[in-house]
Amino acid sequence: MKRILLCFALFVSLFGSVVVTRAEDLAAIKSRMEQRLPALDALRKKGAIGENNRGLTEVRQNVDDAGTVSAAENRDRLLVYAEIGKGQGGASVEQVGRLRARQIAKSSTPGVWLQQESGEWYQKK
């Protein structure tokens, strides 16, 4: 569990030391996620996208291009979670995602919609 937590710290620092066999793919994912971040932040601020309890984004209001942005972000997050899991002795994507969800909740800014383990949504204060 400590190894997974350490891996997430590396993820948060934008994959700085994560070692994967497909470094070019990870670099492409990182680039896409960085380019998408302003749109994602704007949709979070509007309340259109929230962070669920599985470490993925979820459309809460279908405005602008929320569905497209959310789907693209989730595809990339799942790829990253799979790579992290492989590097941690085979942790599942679900395990990695749930741990990441807790980290996202802690680091989110006020106003972001988050999903509790129970499935209930709340807005961070």
Could you report the per-residue pLDDT of 71-82, keeping only the tens digit for each? 999 999 999 999
What is the domain range of residue 94?
2-123
- Model confidence, pTM: 0.80
**Contact assessment for residue 123 and residue 111, using Cβ atoms and an 8 Å cutoff:** yes
pLDDT digits (tens, 9 = 90+) for 15-66: 443 444 466 699 999 999 999 999 999 999 999 999 999 999 999 999 999 9
Task: Give the C-alpha separation, 38 to 60, whole Å.
Answer: 18
26-16-39-94 Cα dihedral, nearest 10 degrees: 70
Total domain count, the chain: 1
- pLDDT band of residue 13 (cuts 50, 70, 90) is very low
